[in-house]
Structure 1
């Protein structure tokens, strides 16, 4: 009981040939694989990590966690999975901490200036 093929199989390439006589470039599916590595599932994981780090950055250690939110959002978008929420939360936290740093620096500047000039030493 032999099967007949339109073109004979080559020993070097054991898969059947196409009608044009060229070998087929399609590989057989890998058993048990639903998705290739680095696909949509990994992008979704990066998106979820970005959102988690973005939310945590608003309430906990924002200066440390905000760059992680931006990084994971960028990795998710490289895999064509939109991660806008995590990226926006990360950048908002970075801007908030930049404003805090500027205000703190200004406060320190005025306190040093006040102590050097003797402001506030007057009697009431």
Structure 2
């Protein structure tokens, strides 16, 4: 029988937690954690899942798709068909995301973007 555990948090290393939390807050609409500060910031989902951002001195951005600096973590966000990947992508690019040349998926189904500090993440049409 599997353990009865539930994922409670995902934490990303970054140079400035409040700045990266603001990017993801604008991207997802998740609520900021009330105890967020310059060393650790968080966003809380309706289901209680916390996305955390912790300060790391000497942070090095992943070198996706290469592995000189491994990607460490890869988030995927579902996009409703009514929103359209192109519209969501454009909004995220305006917030500070980047789109790498290497796109391993059919762009009608998924797109890889890079957050402002280098973490790759996917937009997946659902």
Give TM-score, length-normalised by structure 2: 0.17
Higher Cα Rg: structure 1 or 2?
Answer: 1
Identify which of structures 1 and 2 has the higher relative contact order when contacts are C-alpha pairs closer than 8 Å and 6+ apart: 2
| Greater share of strand | 2
Give TM-score, length-normalised by structure 1: 0.17
